[in-house]
Amino acid sequence: MPGFSAARSRTSFTSPNNSLILSSNSLTSDKQHGRCPRISFKHEQISGVMTLRETNGLGEAFQILSHLWRHRKSIAGYQKDIRLPGGIVLFADYEVPAKILDTIDALFGDDLKPILLKANRSPTGWYLIFSIPAGGSFRQVLKYQDRFEDFTNSTVIIERKYGQLHFTVFTTELKPQYPYEWDPRPWLNTGMLLPFPLGWTVTGLKVVDLAKVIAFIVAGLQGSGKSNFLQQMVWSFLLAAPAPRSPRIAIIDCKRSEFGYLKDHVPVAMEVPHAATLLKALNRELNVRLGKLERARVRRWQQYRGDDMPPIILIIDELGEVIEDECMDLLNRLLRLGRAPGIHICCATQRPSSTMFKKFGDSKALLSGTLAFKVRDDLNSRMLLDNDAAAFIPNNPGRAVWQWGVEQCEVQVMCLPEEQADELLAGLGQQRSVDVVERSPKRLPAR
């Protein structure tokens, strides 16, 4: 412990390793002349924490002591946790919570500064709880999330629970690649109706229930991982055990390069006129299902007791190729009314904007979720997320930002190589067709 030694005309403080000395000379003389005591500091640099030669004021002295104690890992020289016999671990690394506190000191004044109540170490990082002071707010802290992440070089999740701020700091890093593996049964047992793997996060595999998300958009630069994500999303539903209410898949692939190999198993529209026909058929099916729900006096497809209303999942790869007014009107109607009758949509594009899509503003408001891969700049990121997170994603294919409501997290989409997709295709039986295609005109208009 630090020790104090007092004399009539000198008071000094010495740190445990003699690297910091505080002294005050001639206190009586200074007080008699109406001057504040002079505090001088002389110390060596401590692991890069600070370099200070001389200053005045006891307040600054205590600030320095507080800073040194907060970063005491550097003083003690510990680089790793101390593991004792019996599995006991002494956590010596206080650098992460110290940096969180440093950031709070820099951003907030004393009156609005959140107060640390608890700090616990976890296998993946740290869990900190702060009180919200009078006049402070959760949103005021949440808007600085990126600053906490930049300074700690970690993933930081800020939540409000029971009137307190909960910081979850993940010091683990995502791998650059994860192989595609998926078994929907554990997630179906939790009550999810249409589970599919979004990707890996610092907390583990992120699984989304499409029955709740309803519709979402996928966007990003060429080669960022959009098509790979769509492939693994399709296969995640195709590999589900056949059942009367298992999802039916329909695909619009006007790029004509990604899903042609599935034409014998699911309906795939590869030209704009064919896409328009498919969208018309889905709108007719929408009307039929709404009538069934009305006659059954239920509100949603989940409450309908018959087996003739399985969920339909429409996947559009490159929305920019389906920009005709007729197609966009048909698509927007499905987005507006598709929730109750069980029609779910995933749209992918490179750069959504009102200049490319005349009615994209209407479409974006109807897409509740966003999976944003790497984009060129913060302007493109704000078109998707209303923030710049997608502009600063690492240049790693498959890395993306998922946003749904107030939830936002960074994910690494699983990798499904073409060879693995071919193996899955070889073991796939005849897939269930989407009934609406059978009721659509047999002869498609020429392009």
Shared-domain flag, residues 45 and 65: yes
Domain identity same for 98 and 121? yes
Q: Distance between CA 157 and CA 163 in Å, rounded? A: 16
CB atoms within 10 A of CB 237: 22
Residues 58 and 101 placed together within one structural domain of the fold: no
> Kind and range of the H or E element at 18?
none
In 3-state terms, the chain is what percent helix, strand and coil (to 5)? 35, 25, 40
Shared-domain flag, residues 92 and 71: no
Neighbouring CB atoms inside 10 A of 45's CB total: 10
The domain that contains 164 carries what CATH number? 3.30.980
DSSP line for 172-199: ----S--B-----HHHHTTT-SSEEEEE
Is there a single domain that holds both residue 99 and residue 132?
A: yes
Looking at the fold, whether 165 and 190 belong to one and the same domain comes out as no
Is residue 447 included in any domain, yes or no? no
**Per DSSP, what are the bridge partners of residue 440?**
none
Please report the pLDDT score of residue 79 as a whole number.
43
Residues 69 and 190 in one domain: no
Domain annotation covers residue 179: no
Residue with tokens 């107060």: 115
* Residue 249 belongs to domain spanning: 185-439
| pLDDT for the residue numbered 9 | 40
The pLDDT assigned to 69 comes to: 59
Examine the fold and report which residue of 20, 54, 76 is the final residue of a domain before the chain moves on. 76
Q: Which residue has the tokens 């006659």?
A: 295
Has residue 178 been placed in a domain?
no
Distances (CA, A) of 257 to 35, 240, 442: 82, 25, 24
Q: Total structural domains in the chain?
A: 3
362 touches 217 (CB < 8 A): no
Spatial separation of the C-alpha atoms in residues 39 and 60, rounded to whole Å = 10
C-alpha 161/C-alpha 165 separation (Å) is 7
From 41, 58, 76, the end of a domain falls on 76
Co-location of 67 and 89 in the same domain = no
Burial readout 355-375 (b: 16 or more C-beta within 10 A, e: otherwise): eebeebeebbebbbbbbbbbb
Residue 180, in any domain of the structure: no
Residue with tokens 């890992």, as numbered in its chain: 73
What are the structure tokens assigned to 26, written together?
A: 């001639």
- Are 200 and 315 within one domain? yes
69 in helix, strand or coil?
helix
369 in the same domain as 228: yes
What's residue 28's pLDDT? 40
User: Is there a domain that residue 316 lies in?
Assistant: yes
Output the pLDDT for position 51: 45
- Tell me, yes or no, whether 54 and 93 share the same domain: no
295/361 same-domain check:
yes
Q: Is residue 421 part of a domain?
A: yes
Distance CA 329, CA 85 (A): 68
On whether the pTM is more than 0.85, the answer is no
Residue 112 belongs to a domain: yes
Assess if residue 59 is contained within a domain: yes
Q: How many residues does the chain have?
A: 447
Region for 26 from its dihedrals, namely left if φ exceeds 0, alpha if ψ lies in -120 to 50, beta otherwise? left
- pLDDT values of the chain reduced to their tens digit, one per residue, 447 residues: 444 333 334 444 444 444 444 444 433 444 444 444 444 444 444 444 444 444 456 666 666 666 665 665 543 333 445 444 444 444 445 678 888 888 998 898 888 889 989 888 877 888 999 999 888 899 899 889 889 988 888 889 899 999 999 999 988 888 999 999 999 999 999 999 999 999 999 888 999 999 999 999 999 999 899 999 999 999 999 887 667 678 999 999 988 888 989 988 899 999 999 999 999 999 999 999 999 999 999 999 999 998 889 999 999 998 888 888 888 899 999 999 999 999 999 999 987 766 565 666 667 778 999 999 999 888 889 888 988 889 989 889 999 999 998 888 999 999 999 999 988 888 876 554 555 544 444 434 444
Q: Which of 32, 53, 76 finishes a domain?
A: 76
